[in-house]
C-alpha cells in the first residue's frame, strides 16, 4: 500500500478527482484552499502579489494502481495549457495502516 499526495491549482482539482475516480480511488482527502509554492508554476499565496490557491489530494492506494495514476498525471501535464496547471505528485510506502 502506498500513500499518494498531489497538489494542483484549485481550478484543476475537479479534473484530478475525476482521474482518481476513474481508477476506483474513492477514499481520499482533499484540502481545497492550500497556499504554497510548487516546483511548477507561480506561487499561490492568496496575497495581492501572488493571488489564488492550490489544492491538495491525499489517498492510500494499492501498489498496482500507482503506475496508472502516474501515467494519467504525466499525460495530463503534457497537455497542460501552462505551468500553472501542472499537477505535482509523490508517493511513499506505508509501513502500517488501519483500514476499517
The residues, any chain, with a CB within 8 Å of residue 28's CB and separated by 6 or more, are 17, 20, 57, 58, 59
Within a domain: residue 56? Answer: yes
pLDDT per position as a tens digit, 6-54: 999 999 999 999 999 999 998 999 999 999 888 878 889 999 999 999 9
Would you say residue 99 lies in a domain?
A: no
pLDDT band at 98 (very low <50, low <70, confident <90, very high): confident
- Res 42: pLDDT: 87
Residue 98 counted as domain residue: no
Does residue 28 lie within any of the structural domains?
A: yes
Domain annotation covers residue 13: yes
What CATH number corresponds to the domain at position 19?
3.30.70.120
Domain assignment present for residue 60? The answer is yes
Which residues form the domain of 56? 2-93
In three-state secondary structure terms, 71 is: helix
- Check whether 87 has a pLDDT greater than 90: yes
Domain count, the chain: 1
Cβ-contact 50, 42 below 8 angstroms: yes
Amino acid at each position: 500500500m502506498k500513500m499518494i499526495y498531489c497538489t494542483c491549482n484549485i481550478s484543476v482539482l475537479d479534473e484530478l478527482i475525476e482521474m482518481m475516480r476513474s481508477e476506483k480511488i474513492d477514499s481520499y482527502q482533499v484540502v481545497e484552499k492550500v497556499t504554497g509554492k510548487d516546483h511548477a508554476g507561480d506561487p499561490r499565496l492568496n496575497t495581492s502579489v501572488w493571488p489564488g490557491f492550490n489544492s491538495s489530494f491525499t489517498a492510500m492506494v494499492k501498489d498496482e494502481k500507482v503506475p496508472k495514476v502516474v501515467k494519467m498525471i504525466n499525460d495530463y501535464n503534457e497537455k497542460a495549457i501552462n505551468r500553472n496547471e501542472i499537477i505535482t505528485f509523490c508517493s511513499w510506502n506505508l509501513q502500517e495502516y488501519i483500514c476499517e
